[in-house]
Amino acid sequence: MEDVCVRICIEGRVQDVFFRKFTKLKAVELGIKGIVRNLPNGDVEVFAVATRNQLEQFTTWCHEGSPLSSVKKVTVQDIPKSEEYTGFEIRH
């Protein structure tokens, strides 16, 4: 199966609740490469590269989020791969 790249935007109470840490743990567990970072508006943004099946599982998790988070909305859009990711990392 061919890898695809998506941009996922998670809205809600997702900063200062260890969302990025748990996102990285889930991505590594599922074999997803990419990055996660906080946005200035309070959202969290993820760029993820994996198979459709892996990304579907990951997106389902994003709706739940970390134990302290409160996810209101998750937006997923296919994008061209702009960077070669060697793993999954938290960016600031």
For residues 30 and 9, give the distance between their C-alpha atoms in angstroms, rounded to a whole number. 19
The terminus-to-terminus CA distance of the chain in angstroms comes to 31
Which residue among the candidates 38, 52, 53, 91 is catalytic per the annotation? 38
Residue 42 identity:
G
Q: Which two tokens stand for residue 77?
A: 């859009």
Which residue among the candidates 7, 20, 41, 91 is catalytic per the annotation? 20
| Phi (first) and psi of residue 33, to 5 degrees | -105, 150
Task: Note if 41 is an active site residue.
Answer: no
Task: Note if 52 is an active site residue.
Answer: no
As annotated, the active-site residues are: 20, 38
